[in-house]
Amino acid sequence: MSLHGSETDATYDRAGFGSPVRRGERPAIVVVDLTKGFTDPAYPTGADLTEVVAATSQLVAAAGPAGVPVVYTTIGYTPAELDTVVWLDKAPGMRALAIGSEAVEIDDRLPFTDADHLIVKKGASGFFGTGLASLLASTGADTVIVCGATTSGCVRATVVDALQCGYPVLVPRECVGDRADGPAEANLFDIQAKYGDVVSLDDALAYVGGVK
């Protein structure tokens, strides 16, 4: 059965999923793990996310003039954590994401500056075990725009937790990426149905540009 087949759509419609979120007046952008370890295919965890980086750069560039805060996240592990973080047993390729290595640095093609916030995390969600919820509250954010990688992993986890922290969520399709299309599309379908609105980059740019 097709992911977007009529039977699937009818089932979700009947269940009452897929309504649009309420957009606030003070969005914040969370850029999830667009670090070299994820955007450079030379790393075990990496893939060629050139187009995702370019689209996210457009959105971040629009954020500055609008006064929209931008928060970047990165995953990084200390030597001790390489032997204690259970996730690394399941995904040993992520052991390359060592604190102090280039793998955990924000991709140089992104307009990351000292005016932006940086969260270092150990798990999939940008919220779990970090100060992201408090940071967003301190900025007065009432909506979260989630970009980054990977769609089926850290992006989805961050979207779900943003919703559970009380934030309406937007996910610009061009600004998220994965290692494979199948998992990416399945998770975008789920996000649109249950957790946030999957929107176009143009829509997100117009929304950010309209902030007063």
Note if 154 is an active site residue.
yes
DSSP codes, 73-110: EEE-B-TTGGGT-THHHH-GGGGG-BTTSGGGSBPTTS
Burial class (CB in 10 A: 0-12, 13-18, 19+), 91: middle
Of 139, 109, 123, 138, residue with least CA distance to 32: 123
Contact (CB, 8 A) for 34 and 49: yes
DSSP class of residue 115 equals T
**Which residue in 147, 154, 165, 175 is the catalytic one?**
154
> CA-to-CA distance for 12 and 140, rounded, in angstroms?
33
> CA-to-CA distance for 157 and 7, rounded, in angstroms?
27
Mind telling me the catalytic residues? 154
